[in-house]
Chains A and B, each alone.
Chain A
Amino acid sequence: MTDKQRENLKNRIAVVAAWGVALIFFFPIFWMVLTSFKTEGQAIAVPPLLVFEPTLENYIEIQERTNYVKFAWNSVITSFGGTAVALLIAIPSAYAMAFNPTHRTKDILMWMLSTKMLPAVGVLMPIYFLAQKAGLFDTKLVLVIIYAMVNLPIVMLILFNYFREIPKEILEASRMDGTSTYNEIRQIVMPLAWGGIASTALLSIILCWNEAFWSIVLTTTEASTLTAFVASFQAPEGLFWAKVSAVSTLACAPIVIFGWLAQKQLVQGLTFGAVK
């Protein structure tokens, strides 16, 4: 065997291994989606069924017989709402910091990041009581507020990094022309930073959507999100695996697709800008 042939063989083995590993990792997701198209009987068949006649009845039934739509709506409101609030607070701040940095700017950003490290369970009781006192227990609003605050540091840091990449010369030129600050943000910075803002929003939405601790602790029936709704199937009584799979598939599909789309930005966001 020549060196070239050996190299080729090695490469081929690597490719087969890569596919093998990928299939193993993806398998539980594939199986969940598959199960969602089975009848309840087929879902618990021994041995497990790979080939069967698919049915849509689970999807129809969860729309009709459960509050799935309500919980999905709660998830949409809380994750988009939390993200919107975080962006609204962060955009002006990150803008000001990026274009007028002082010697304290870095410390402020690092401090903000440190608030993200506060474990939720450490402030469980205070948040619980405050929510109850304010009459916000089991409301979407309390989750919007918490998600906004929890994600604010990450949003700030990523936006700051994006704004930093906008060349200062462009801004200086426009200032010479006497553009007001408001117009400067609206006409120059926003169009340039739009991509960064969109991907920051995407990351924040993903994190909110999958958040499980606060939604389980702070909601009971009214404001439960999909994570809490899915968690309610943990009880062994009345396990309906095919229906649970259908709920799970619907709950995860949009976020998985979001994740695929935003891979690159996610790396930056998830590592707080440390890996680009």
Chain B
Amino acid sequence: MNRTLVRLLQAPSIILLLLWMIVPLSMTLYFSTIRYNLLYPEREGFIGLENYRFFWTDAAFFPALMNTLVLVGSVLIITVVLGLAISVLIDRPFRGRGIVRVMLISPFFIMPTVSALVWKNMMMDPTTGLFAAMWNAMGWQPIEWLQDMPLFSIILMVSWQWTPFAILIFMTSLQSQDQEQKEAATLDGAGFWSQFYNLTLPHMARPISIVILIQMIFHLSIFAEIFVTTSGGPGVQSTNLTYLIYIQSQQAFDVGVASAGGVFAIILANIVAIFLIRAVGKTLTV
């Protein structure tokens, strides 16, 4: 192939992605510095960082930032710990292993809006939900999950969806672990924990960091689960940054402030992205 042809073939993907990135990004940056509210079209003009200040000092900003961090952090801990434990548990031959694997990874493929509705209506409903039935059977007062502990409920739903992701990745990585090494360790009298700590964990270090980074990218922008179940409430107890920006733009119609929030979200995501891209880059051979 000559060089012109090579360039020509590469051009569409590069140009399109460049446009896809530059155009909306610069529009967001521009909107974030002007007065722009769809309800008050007569107010306009450059206002510098005023939108940022407004977003920053909004009473909902700090709770939303905290909720975002708590949500991402808790889901990460739950999914990685559970994912590791479960994938080690099924990393042995036994009858029905295929079915067990399929059942374990299925929640990951359920669309987020469906999973949110199933949990909201059928699991967590305080009168007819399954949890209520379980609580009643134990003689306890059923919990109003989405009212009393909205953020925890969402953490539960998201963890149910993403633990399977961790299992899927860890399961695959475990299969590439050196079995002879493990057998040798067993012969030398190394117990389960010492094998796990000295052989399995080092082998899993990379997949674990990849799982953490990818989940962070996705969980920083959790939307559907909140939209369908709590709408960010009660109050702002389960509002994360994504949902807060969505409210600013779609309900308060304040494009300027929503864009300032968007810039904030982009910066937050990029901090994570740098690490992820480095991790991926190490494995890419050109």
Say how far A87's CB is from chain B's closest CB, in angstroms.
11
Question: Which residues of B (192-217) have their CB < 8 Å from a CB of A?
Answer: 206-207, 210-211, 214, 217
Asked whether, in the complex, the Cβ of A244 is within 8 Å of the Cβ of B107, the reply is no
Asked whether, in the complex, the Cβ of B122 is within 8 Å of the Cβ of A32, the reply is yes
Which among A130, A234, A272 is the interface contact of B24 at CB below 8 angstroms? A130
Instruction: Provide the B79-119 mask, 1 if CB < 8 A to any CB of A, else 0.
Output: 00000001001101011110111111111111111111111
Asked whether, in the complex, the Cβ of A119 is within 8 Å of the Cβ of B118, the reply is no
Interchain CA distance A42-B122 in the complex, whole Å: 12
Q: A29-B106, A47-B136 are in contact. Are A119 and B21 (CB under 8 A)?
A: no
Which among A25, A92, A109, A210 is the interface contact of B103 at CB below 8 angstroms? A25
Instruction: Provide the A196-230 mask, 1 if CB < 8 A to any CB of B, else 0.
Output: 00000000001001101100110000000011101
Interchain CA distance A259-B103 in the complex, whole Å: 11
Say how far A217's CB is from chain B's closest CB, in angstroms.
7
Asked whether, in the complex, the Cβ of B111 is within 8 Å of the Cβ of A121, the reply is no
Instruction: Provide the A249-276 mask, 1 if CB < 8 A to any CB of B, else 0.
Output: 0011001101110011011001111111
Asked whether, in the complex, the Cβ of A272 is within 8 Å of the Cβ of B280, the reply is yes
Asked whether, in the complex, the Cβ of A252 is within 8 Å of the Cβ of B12, the reply is no
Question: Which residues of A (229-246) have their CB < 8 Å from a CB of B?
Answer: 230-231, 233-234, 239, 241, 244-245
A residues near B113, Cβ cutoff 8 Å: 212, 227-228, 230-231
Asked whether, in the complex, the Cβ of A108 is within 8 Å of the Cβ of B14, the reply is yes
Interchain CA distance A139-B28 in the complex, whole Å: 23
Among listed A52-60, A61-69, A96-104, interface-contacting one: A96-104
Question: Which residues of A (29-56) have their CB < 8 Å from a CB of B?
Answer: 29, 31-32, 35, 44-48
Interchain CA distance A97-B67 in the complex, whole Å: 42
Asked whether, in the complex, the Cβ of A119 is within 8 Å of the Cβ of B284, the reply is no
Q: A92-B12, A213-B224 are in contact. Are A252 and B114 (CB under 8 A)?
A: yes
- Interface secondary structure of A, over-half rule: helix
Q: A153 — nearest CB in chain B belongs to which residue?
A: B17
Asked whether, in the complex, the Cβ of B118 is within 8 Å of the Cβ of A209, the reply is no
Asked whether, in the complex, the Cβ of B270 is within 8 Å of the Cβ of A117, the reply is yes
Which among A125, A231, A241 is the interface contact of B262 at CB below 8 angstroms? A125
Q: A115-B20, A149-B16, A274-B210 are in contact. Are A125 and B259 (CB under 8 A)?
A: yes
Which among A125, A149, A267 is the interface contact of B20 at CB below 8 angstroms? A149
A residues near B27, Cβ cutoff 8 Å: 123, 125-126, 129-130
Among listed B41-49, B55-63, B177-185, B271-279, interface-contacting one: B271-279
Asked whether, in the complex, the Cβ of A256 is within 8 Å of the Cβ of B106, the reply is yes
Asked whether, in the complex, the Cβ of A121 is within 8 Å of the Cβ of B262, the reply is yes
Does residue A21 face the partner (Cβ distance < 8 Å to B)?
Answer: yes
A residues near B115, Cβ cutoff 8 Å: 28
Q: B110 — nearest CB in chain A belongs to which residue?
A: A252
Chain B CB within 10 Å, residue with most, of A32, A112, A152, A273: A32
Asked whether, in the complex, the Cβ of B123 is within 8 Å of the Cβ of A28, the reply is yes
Q: A115-B21, A149-B16, A274-B279 are in contact. Are A212 and B262 (CB under 8 A)?
A: no
Which among B1, B12, B245, B285 is the interface contact of A181 at CB below 8 angstroms? B1
Does residue B246 face the partner (Cβ distance < 8 Å to A)?
Answer: yes
Asked whether, in the complex, the Cβ of B111 is within 8 Å of the Cβ of A119, the reply is no
A residues near B172, Cβ cutoff 8 Å: 264, 267, 275-276
Does residue A188 face the partner (Cβ distance < 8 Å to B)?
Answer: no
B residues near A15, Cβ cutoff 8 Å: 92, 94-95
Asked whether, in the complex, the Cβ of A181 is within 8 Å of the Cβ of B119, the reply is no
Chain B CB within 10 Å, residue with most, of A11, A92, A106, A276: A92
Asked whether, in the complex, the Cβ of A126 is within 8 Å of the Cβ of B169, the reply is no
Does residue B52 face the partner (Cβ distance < 8 Å to A)?
Answer: no
Instruction: Provide the A143-178 mask, 1 if CB < 8 A to any CB of B, else 0.
Output: 000000100110011000100100000000000000
Asked whether, in the complex, the Cβ of B105 is within 8 Å of the Cβ of A255, the reply is no
Chain A CB within 10 Å, residue with most, of B132, B220, B221, B286: B286
Question: Which residues of B (218-240) have their CB < 8 Å from a CB of A?
Answer: 220-221, 223-224, 227-229, 231
Which among A25, A93, A110, A117 is the interface contact of B104 at CB below 8 angstroms? A25
Asked whether, in the complex, the Cβ of B111 is within 8 Å of the Cβ of A252, the reply is yes
Asked whether, in the complex, the Cβ of B214 is within 8 Å of the Cβ of A121, the reply is no
Interchain CA distance A117-B277 in the complex, whole Å: 10
Q: Which 9 pairs of residues, A with B, have the shortest CB-CB distance?
A: A126-B27, A212-B224, A123-B24, A117-B273, A259-B109, A96-B9, A126-B24, A93-B13, A26-B103
Q: Which residues does B use to contact A, with CB under 8 Å? A: 1, 3, 5-7, 9-14, 16-17, 20-21, 23-25, 27-28, 31, 86, 89-90, 92, 94-97, 99-123, 127-128, 130, 132-133, 136-137, 160, 163-165, 168-169, 172-173, 176, 206-207, 210-211, 214, 217, 220-221, 223-224, 227-229, 231, 241-242, 245-246, 249-250, 255, 258-259, 261-263, 265-266, 268-270, 272-273, 276-277, 279-286
| Selected A-B contacts with CB under 8 Å, 16 pairs | A18-B100, A28-B115, A29-B106, A29-B110, A32-B122, A93-B13, A109-B284, A121-B223, A125-B259, A210-B109, A228-B113, A234-B231, A252-B111, A256-B109, A259-B106, A270-B214
